Structure 1
């Protein structure tokens, strides 16, 4: 699992200047130090699988380039909030919102998980394509891959309920390379019950990865 992550990290570190990439038939800005969606097959899958709440509110945790947040706005969400702890990712998300002329709909904020939000910030959908590899990140880019002790996942489940509208949906992008049983246990500690919405196996140079979209509902 870590070997695959480091292979992908090596490709990311080759990106040393701002550039553009193509995804879903659209052009996007990419800054150095930001996760590059076009390098992973999961990006297009999640973009098509997500249930964007038309006329509703959408929150993306760990927005990276912001392509999901931009798509949420383009596909009819009335308000979109994009959160990321990385300064480069926040700037990248802003650039792509401006590029696709949805900057009046997409609000971008910097902070760890839900820290930038207030008690009044509530959403119909909260989504996070998580850093599923357990390990210690050395820099901001590696935080897109590694979650030591799955602490970020614990924070996700701990804080999400305060920011969901009644009947809102909590979604997590994950893979079979991560420890899904541990994620389920962390979710249960904070009152969440998991369900698999979509899954697809994709071939890689080193075998196959199954990408999974999970939904968590409050147990009770």
Structure 2
């Protein structure tokens, strides 16, 4: 594994939506999936119908490099199994709010917060982006490990799990950027986790439209089953 803080040229890799859909189908109905997994030296519950956090190194990498606001408030969009939200609480965040559009993911995150003794600091909401937040709520850090696989507008999200890996036309990321600053404290940080499977040019264009610029904070490479994956931690700043 290697990582760097220097911005450099990044090649965008293409991933077949059909291949991803097969993985999602297995996560929904595969009889061989366990009900728990080990990650970051801890055991985590896995509910059927939630994107497994060990299909790639993404969750482990992001959970390890997110700059958590120690003693502050942390908001995670798209919490999945809850690994990052729970890790935020275990790493010193005073309050954590976790959002997911998938009700099964909400229940999974609640279970893992209870499992690791941080239920008093982790609130989990069934929410489409920021919709269930109070308009006045503000957070020191907002983070989303976004769906990477680019598909065009109109692509059908046929199961709850599809939204974990597909963001048609990057509409979700556009909403994430446009709505975030209404929920950031003064000096708060807006972060986005992605990979070289994402469309960085499109993301930069969306940021530009929202009056933001994108900074690469960390780059982490992992050797995975098919190829070397490159994960990116990005921060978005007002111009």
TM-score range (shorter-chain normalised) is: over 0.9
CA distance in 1, matches of 2:68, 2:30: 31
Q: CA deviation at 1:7?
A: 5.4
Runs of 4+ in 1 over 4 A off after TM superposition: 14-18
Matched-pair contact (CA < 8 Å) for 1:173–1:214: yes
Q: CA RMSD in A?
A: 1.6
Correspondence 1:137-148 to 2 at 5 A:
137-148=157-168
Number of corresponding residues:
219
Which deviates further from its counterpart, 65-74 or 202-211? 202-211
SS at match of 2:234: strand
Post-superposition CA distance 1:105-127 (Å, at most 9, x none): 00111111111111221111100
Return the TM-score normalized by structure 2: 0.87
For CA contacts below 8 A with separation 6 or more, give which structure has more relative contact order. 2
Q: Structure 1: give runs of 5+ residues left out of the alignment.
A: none
Q: CA deviation at 1:9?
A: 2.6
Correspondence 1:21-170 to 2 at 5 A:
21-135=37-151, 136=155, 137-170=157-190
CA distance in 1, matches of 2:67, 2:209: 26
Q: CA deviation at 1:11?
A: 4.5
The 1:20–1:93 alpha-carbon spacing in structure 2 relative to 1, beyond 3 Å, is same
CA distance in 1, matches of 2:50, 2:111: 13
Return the TM-score normalized by structure 1: 0.94
CA distance in 2, matches of 1:189, 1:55: 33
Q: Structure 2: give runs of 5+ residues left out of the alignment.
A: 1-14
Q: 1:12 aligns with which of 27, 36, 43?
A: 27
